[in-house]
Amino acid sequence: MKIDTGTEQLTCDVTNRVAVITLNRPEARNALSDELTRAFRQQIAERGRDPDVGTLLITGAGRAFCSGGDVKGMGGRRGPDGQTPDERFQTMRARHHEIAGALTRLRKPTLAALPGAAAGAGLAIALACDLRIAAKSAFVSTGYARIGLSGDYGIAWMLTRAVGPARARELMLLCERVSADRAEALGLINRVVADDVLMAEAMKLAAQLANGPTVALGYIKDNLDEALDIDHTSAIDREAERLTRATGSEDHREAVSAFVEKRDPVFKGR
């Protein structure tokens, strides 16, 4: 099912409970324009609420995932509509929270498929997803220092948790181009596949997640989100609380029945 996003710069199709959201500015390596980010924010929110969607799959058209902000439009920018510095901050803050923040908070699984470059904000958006799969020819880069900027979308926070503080500093300060294979070794990417099978493999993963035990997957994300911020005793208590809730779900009962009957379970997200 094709979703009307209100712009050609972003497409969205829902198939087998997977919402494929595609950044569609291939001529600009899918750089983030105001029009694109506005539609992107809306689709994350709407598909996140959609009961017919179990997973969001984010990708880019052409040979890039997302090259970050539109650098050509940055020079001489004085802020939209004569905004004050504080108004510009509030506008920027809302955009970052409603894209990377929303993806991170979403209790449905999210997956980024990288056909090519993920740089700057593009890398941040990919890191905000639960899993990342990349084409062999893809690469990542923080990119900010090269254009005299410090970072956005929470990238320093996500990088530090993904690869540790030492590697995060290296990646942010040096802005090196990191190949897909090295990114996988560093822990930035989960899987690297041949270019011509990227979307097939991404859809296979996304469909597995989308048709899985929604209740349990949401609780798993809760547990993982807390893992770096709470002590072990608190983690045990909260995991036990969520496990108790999951035990009472229809999905758990269906999984047990399917195991006994030697068939594949059919989850309903309840």
What are 4-31's pLDDT values in tens digits?
999 999 999 999 999 999 999 999 999 9
pLDDT in tens, 107-118: 999 999 999 999
Instruction: Go through 182-220 and write b for each residue having 16 or more CB atoms within 10 A of its CB, e for each that does not.
Output: ebbebebbbebbeeeebbebbbebbbebbbbbbbbbbbb
Contacts (Cβ under 8 Å, ≥6 apart) of 135: 114, 115, 116, 180, 192, 193, 194, 195, 198
pLDDT in tens, 25-39: 999 999 999 999 999
Inter-residue contact 177 to 141 (CB < 8 Å): yes
Task: Give the homologous superfamily in CATH for domain 2-210.
Answer: 2-enoyl-CoA Hydratase; Chain A, domain 1 (3.90.226.10)
Higher pLDDT, 75 or 211: 211
The H helix count followed by the E strand count for the chain is 11, 11
Which CATH fold topology does 214-261 show?
A: Lyase 2-enoyl-coa Hydratase; Chain  A, domain 2 (1.10.12)
CATH topology agreement for domains 2-210 and 214-261: no
Q: Please name the amino acid found at residue 28.
A: A
pLDDT in tens, 145-157: 999 999 999 999 9
Going by C-alpha positions, the residue among 60, 46, 203 that lies closest to residue 126 is 60
Instruction: Kindly list the domain boundaries of the chain, sorted by start residue.
Output: 2-210, 214-261
The gap between the terminal CA atoms of the chain, to the nearest Å, is 24
Catalytic residues: 97, 152
Going by C-alpha positions, the residue among 265, 235, 231 that lies closest to residue 251 is 265
At residue 109, the 3 state secondary structure works out as coil
pLDDT in tens, 199-247: 999 999 999 999 999 999 999 999 999 998 999 999 999 999 999 999 9
The helix (H) or strand (E) run that includes residue 27 is none
What is the model's pTM?
0.93
